[in-house]
Amino acid sequence: MSIPTIDTVHDWNAIRADFPLLSREVHGKPLIYLDSANTGQKPASVIDTVDDFYRHHNANVSRAVHALGTEATEAYEASRTKLAGFLKAHRDELVLCSGTTFALNLVAYSWALPRLKPGDAILLSRMEHHANIVPWQLVAERTGAKIKVAEIREDGSLDIDALYAAMTPEVKILGLAHVSNVLGTVNPVREICRETRRRGIVSVIDGSQAAPHRALDIPSLGCDFYAITGHKMCGPTGTGALWARREHIAAMPPFLGGGEMIKEVRFEGTIFNDGPHRFEAGTPNIAGHIGLGAAVDYLTAIGMEAVEAREAELLAHATEALTRIDGLRILGTAPEKAAVISFLVEGAHAHDLATLLDLEGVAVRSGHHCAHPLMQFFDVAATCRASFAFYNTHDEIERFAVALTKVRRLLG
């Protein structure tokens, strides 16, 4: 089965079987893949779509009138349309790019850099991924702007009162994760963006951990920019998009110069393309984005409401299972959480835990998760992170708990 049908939408074992990699073994043990916050696995329909493009349709986009060029262009642009529908957005509001990191840099350099001035401020939350910190630091250095930090509570939730108090008149931009990649905290983006609009602050939302796991209606959130990454939502690596309000797209200068983002080039000057295409210089990841379109088809067929409900069940089960283990501490217990659990085990380093779990066939992430400021808040160098997707099973959670208990004894 390549794409679930309405009759099998809740047959999670059948859906799991669509993912070839999940059937392999690691170190002689059945693989338990709990690193979907890092990258999602790919269903056969996505793999087959990419393979089919290279076997039967490979050509560059928008550069040829021959049949292959037309087929490639139509398939590539169809993926833009599919992704726009998935996000409840218009296709002319979507810049296709390599992922959230590129998208946030695009906003920082094309929108913010020409507008910020000394004394302005960029407000970021403590839980941001480095991709939503470093570009702003670089732009702040070049413009004389400063970075302000909105703190979190001990449970990993955003301190909303402190956030609003930090929205002083010099704040021009808010950078915020929709869902924390470390804690799973789901931030109330719609409420926050209502406040930023009231205060004239431009909101830039990192949606990397939201798009793969919940239904989105980006325009209704009220933000100015929203970035997503394709490889976390069952698509190929090197894919993603930036959603931007049309007035921002029209007002932003191109980020990169080259082919495809132009209408006409003369040595006296260049006329740039319209809409999102003005930011898509050079040959894009054509096969990857066509594969992302197939991933959107796949997720849409399951239904994102069903995905979110399934992952909420898995999170509840995993949280209960891990609390049985002596000496285990979970970081991030906010009331609204996605299916991510960062944890520490007393007396054990996160890397040692992850290494020994790998020998049991369990793949978790260890380290700072590209969130150094968050690690500093909790006064830890690293954590282990188990992140779940709809293709995981309750049996895997029990086997994970058994493996973790065994590793705990070995290290204890």
**What is the spatial distance between Cα 254 and Cα 17, in angstroms, rounded to a whole number?**
43
Block residue for tokens 């401020």: 121
Rg, the chain, Cα only: 22
**What is the spatial distance between Cα 82 and Cα 51, in angstroms, rounded to a whole number?**
19
Task: Give me the residues paired with residue 329 across strands.
Answer: 344
H helix intervals, 323-393: 350-359, 372-378
**What is the spatial distance between Cα 269 and Cα 169, in angstroms, rounded to a whole number?**
38
Task: Give me the phi and psi of 175, to 5 degrees please.
Answer: -105, 125
Beta strands in 40-129, from DSSP E residues, in sequence order: 94-97, 121-125
Residues 341 and 362: beta-carbon distance below 8 Å: no
Residues 36 and 385: beta-carbon distance below 8 Å: no
Buried b (16+ CB within 10 A) or exposed e, 187-223: bebeebbebbeeeebbbbbbbbbbbbbbbbebeebbb
User: In whole angstroms, what separates CA 272 from the centre of its chain?
Assistant: 29
Q: 362-363 and 32-33 as β-strands: parallel, antiparallel, unpaired?
A: parallel
Which of 228, 224, 223 is CA-nearest to residue 251?
224
Task: Give me the residues paired with residue 173 across strands.
Answer: 122, 202
**What is the spatial distance between Cα 298 and Cα 157, in angstroms, rounded to a whole number?**
32
**What is the spatial distance between Cα 386 and Cα 354, in angstroms, rounded to a whole number?**
10
Q: Which residues are catalytic?
A: 370
Which residue type does 25 have?
E
Residues 87 and 96: beta-carbon distance below 8 Å: no
User: Other CB atoms closer than 10 Å to residue 254's CB: what's the count?
Assistant: 18
